[in-house]
């Protein structure tokens, strides 16, 4: 992905390490405050990875061109992502006397109108607007015109899409590093107590009480102690951590430095997926900028405490998201999880006490220390405090990041915030927790989202991926997909995981290919329970979950595949056939013939098109290109239901 540094002169300010925190903050505020108060409009354009994939950089270029051409003065800030993926590229324009206005799906040809209309003249071009932006400035931002703003609380995402992630002054001006300054005057025990009182539980998936982990690591004997951030967000469909790292990396650094101070640790690592190159780049920039201001590195804020952070890139192994495997990877070894005890807080990286936490957990620490544990504990439920961030994806209108107080129901997230299932289709299920999680059907939509309720339903919150499925998704195929992923990513150490999951996959493949047997369902359950019992780490222990939950809640789909050789969702290739309905075929076009890769479509004497089932490879091209007004191509299951060939 294109990596582009914005113009920031922070790199040149090496002489500032003698400044006190108040002086640093004053300077930051002096740069930030005039920005929207000096009469010059500010244009914020999201430039995280998904924004760029939607064409954000071309939009930036077009704004620069138009501003120059029309001789308009305005500041452009390349921000991170707000996380409203279906609205990207997102542009927020602040002009004096006007509220901040968000424009969605901005393309380069919209830019001249925006510049001329709104910046040069006084027409805010509301036909392009999504709504107005309130908050930001250190308080949770929201767009009041959108129904979702009633339910969301953007605490961890408070700066995302609002600040330049490559300018530390923005982060500091909005309250950043105030928590660090405060914690440097607290005792280690004081910091531990504050985190314990907040009720924060790890956001990496396991939900272990963070304060308790910190207390244990503090008590552990042995030096040096390490602080490690797990940024190996490997769950397919999860991108919360990516957005935080690309949009507000300083929040993560600040959390790590605070913990390092509590533990008297001098070295930290951030283990980042190499599939996130922009996140790696922004982290490195953030580290350098923090060092330049004496907030990281030697003699932090003149206290004599030193702590350094190194970014370590992963190499494409999902299992390295498991904490012990991650640490072995940093040591230069294969990422095999190990037996516990000893716990990593006693003997982790290089057998030394190691405090490992997730990106979102570290990003929560500055909020807790700055605003107080009571504030944080006041959000959420009795046992799950604070907010939960989800990457909502799949068959839902508003794909993107959602942040809600713990205890919000799945229904609220999917329907009120997510905008419901798209294209008017019927909701079938929601998958939470990635390949370790479960698929829950409609009757669970009222389940509150917290660590414990979802577990009771047989799913888990996991790190935050949430995939919505509709009537066109096959749950057996979904289970097979997740298991295929886990089989590929298994490290191979435990027999039950290595061979058991392969065997489960083999059975599932038989089922989707129409070779399933009635006893397969029971076999899958038995195998699944055995794999859970016989596996050392979370990957093996949770690999059967997607299969066990789909068997529990979508049994009728398995039965249809096995007993009737039918795929109700019309997905499984061996159980479906493509068929052109003669009465609907226009007869005058050749769209389907042209795109068929196996030349399976010919013309009948009555001029409608016919698919030769012996040649059809079920690629779906014909269905895609058949013009909407005819919709002549249909999928049929079971294959025995395909009407007989009309006589030529």
Partner 1 sequence: MASPSKHEEEQITEGMREILSQHEKDKSCLIPILQVVQQTFGYLPRIATQKVASHLGMTDVQVYGVASFYNHFRFIPLGKYPVQMCMGTACHMVGGGLVLEALERTLDIKVGGITEDREFSLDRVACIGCCGLAPVMVVGEKIYPKMSPAKVDEVFVNMKMEAKRD
> Residue 294 Cβ, how far from partner 1 at the closest point, in Å?
27
The dihedral region occupied by 528, where left means phi > 0, alpha psi between -120 and 50, and beta the remainder, is alpha
Q: Which is nearer to partner 1, 331 or 374 (CB)?
A: 331
> Residue 386 Cβ, how far from partner 1 at the closest point, in Å?
23
Please report, as ranges, the residues that interact with partner 1 according to CB under 8 A.
1-2, 49-50, 52-54, 85-86, 88, 233-239, 242, 274-276, 312-318, 329-335, 391, 393-395, 399-400, 431, 434, 465, 467, 469, 473, 478, 481-482, 485, 491, 595, 597, 619-621, 624-625
The tokens describing 575, both together, are 């159980």
DSSP helix/strand/coil, 37? coil
What gap in Å lies between CA 366 and CA 371, rounded to an integer?
8
Q: Which is nearer to partner 1, 301 or 576 (CB)?
A: 576
Burial class, 456, CB count within 10 angstroms (exposed 0-12 / middle 13-18 / buried 19+): exposed
> Residue 266 Cβ, how far from partner 1 at the closest point, in Å?
17
Instruction: With beta carbons less than 8 A apart as the criterion, state whether 45 and 76 touch.
Output: yes
DSSP string of 460-491, one letter each residue: --TTSEEEEEETTS-HHHHHHHHHHHHHHH--
> Residue 477 Cβ, how far from partner 1 at the closest point, in Å?
9
Q: Which is nearer to partner 1, 211 or 546 (CB)?
A: 546
Give the DSSP H/E element, type plus range, for residue 323.
Answer: helix 323-330
> Residue 610 Cβ, how far from partner 1 at the closest point, in Å?
20
> Residue 369 Cβ, how far from partner 1 at the closest point, in Å?
29
Q: Which is nearer to partner 1, 2 or 647 (CB)?
A: 2
DSSP state, 500?
A: I
Beta strand extents in 367-475 (DSSP E only) = 387-394, 400-405, 427-432, 438-441, 465-470
Instruction: With beta carbons less than 8 A apart as the criterion, state whether 359 and 321 touch.
Output: no
What gap in Å lies between CA 270 and CA 580, rounded to an integer?
54
What gap in Å lies between CA 405 and CA 379, rounded to an integer?
6
Q: Which is nearer to partner 1, 167 or 329 (CB)?
A: 329
Q: Which is nearer to partner 1, 211 or 337 (CB)?
A: 337
> Residue 158 Cβ, how far from partner 1 at the closest point, in Å?
20
Q: Which is nearer to partner 1, 10 or 619 (CB)?
A: 619
What gap in Å lies between CA 195 and CA 188, rounded to an integer?
11
For residue 198, report the phi and psi dihedrals to the nearest 5 degrees. Answer: -70, -25
Q: Which is nearer to partner 1, 126 or 315 (CB)?
A: 315
> Residue 242 Cβ, how far from partner 1 at the closest point, in Å?
4
């Amino acid at each position: 992905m294109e990596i582009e540094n914005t113009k920031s002169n922070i790199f040149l300010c090496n002489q500032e390490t003698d400044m006190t925190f108040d002086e640093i903050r004053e300077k930051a505020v002096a740069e930030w405050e005039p920005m929207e108060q000096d009469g010059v409009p500010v244009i914020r354009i999201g430039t995280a990875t998904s924004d760029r994939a939607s064409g954000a950089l071309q939009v930036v270029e077009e704004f620069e061109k138009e501003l120059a051409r029309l001789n308009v003065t305005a500041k452009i800030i390349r921000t991170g992502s707000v996380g409203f993926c279906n609205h990207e590229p997102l542009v927020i324009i602040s002009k004096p006397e006007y509220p901040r206005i968000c424009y969605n799906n901005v393309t380069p040809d919209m830019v001249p109108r925006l510049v001329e209309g709104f910046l040069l003249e006084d027409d805010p071009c509301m036909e392009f607007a999504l709504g107005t932006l309130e908050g930001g400035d250190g308080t949770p931002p929201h767009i009041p015109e959108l129904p979702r703003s009633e339910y969301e609380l953007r605490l961890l995402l408070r700066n995302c899409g609002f600040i330049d992630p490559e300018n530390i002054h923005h982060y500091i001006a909005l309250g950043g590093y105030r928590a660090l300054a405060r914690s440097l005057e607290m005792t280690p025990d004081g910091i531990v107590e504050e985190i314990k009182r907040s009720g924060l539980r790890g956001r990496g998936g396991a939900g272990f009480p963070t304060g308790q982990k910190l207390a244990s690591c503090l008590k552990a004997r042995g030096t040096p102690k390490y602080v490690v951030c797990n940024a190996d967000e490997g769950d397919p469909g999860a991108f919360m951590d990516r957005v935080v790292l690309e949009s507000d990396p300083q929040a993560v650094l600040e959390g790590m430095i605070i913990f390092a101070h509590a533990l008297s640790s001098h070295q930290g690592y951030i283990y980042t997926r190499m599939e996130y190159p922009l996140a790696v780049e922004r982290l490195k920039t953030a580290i350098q900028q923090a060092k330049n201001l004496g907030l990281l590195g030697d003699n932090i804020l003149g206290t004599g405490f030193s702590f350094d952070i190194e970014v370590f890139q992963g190499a494409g192994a999902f299992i390295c998201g498991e904490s012990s495997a991650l640490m072995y990877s940093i040591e230069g070894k294969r990422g095999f999880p190990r037996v516990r005890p000893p716990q990593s807080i006693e003997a982790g990286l290089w057998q030394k006490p190691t405090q490992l936490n997730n990106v979102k957990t570290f990003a929560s620490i500055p909020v807790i220390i700055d605003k107080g544990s009571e504030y944080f504990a006041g959000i959420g439920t009795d046992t799950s405090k604070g907010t939960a961030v989800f990457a909502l994806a799949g068959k839902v209108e508003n794909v993107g990041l959602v942040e809600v107080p713990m205890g919000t129901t799945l229904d609220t997230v999917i329907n009120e915030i997510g905008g419901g299932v798209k294209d008017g289709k019927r909701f079938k299920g929601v998958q939470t927790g990635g390949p370790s999680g479960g698929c829950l059907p409609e009757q669970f939509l009222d389940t509150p989202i917290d660590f414990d309720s979802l577990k009771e339903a047989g799913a888990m919150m996991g790190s935050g991926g949430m995939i919505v499925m509709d009537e066109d998704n096959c749950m057996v195929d979904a289970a097979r997909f997740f298991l295929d992923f886990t089989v590929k990513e298994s490290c191979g150490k435990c027999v039950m995981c290595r061979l058991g999951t392969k065997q489960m996959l083999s059975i599932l493949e038989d089922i989707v290919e129409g070779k399933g047997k009635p006893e397969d369902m029971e076999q899958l359950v038995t195998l699944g329970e055995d794999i859970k019992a016989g596996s050392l780490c979370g990957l093996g222990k949770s690999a059967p979950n997607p299969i066990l939950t789909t068997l529990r809640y979508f049994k009728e789909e398995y039965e249809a595949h096995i007993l009737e050789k039918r795929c109700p969702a019309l997905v499984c290739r061996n159980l479906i056939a493509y068929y052109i309905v003669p009465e609907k075929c226009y007869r005058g076009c050749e769209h389907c013939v042209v795109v068929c890769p196996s030349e399976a479509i010919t013309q009948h004497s009555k001029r409608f098109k016919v698919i030769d089932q012996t040649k059809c490879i079920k690629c779906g091209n014909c269905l895609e290109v058949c013009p909407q007004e005819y919709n002549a191509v249909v999928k049929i299951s079971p294959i025995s239901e395909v009407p007989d060939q009309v006589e030529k």
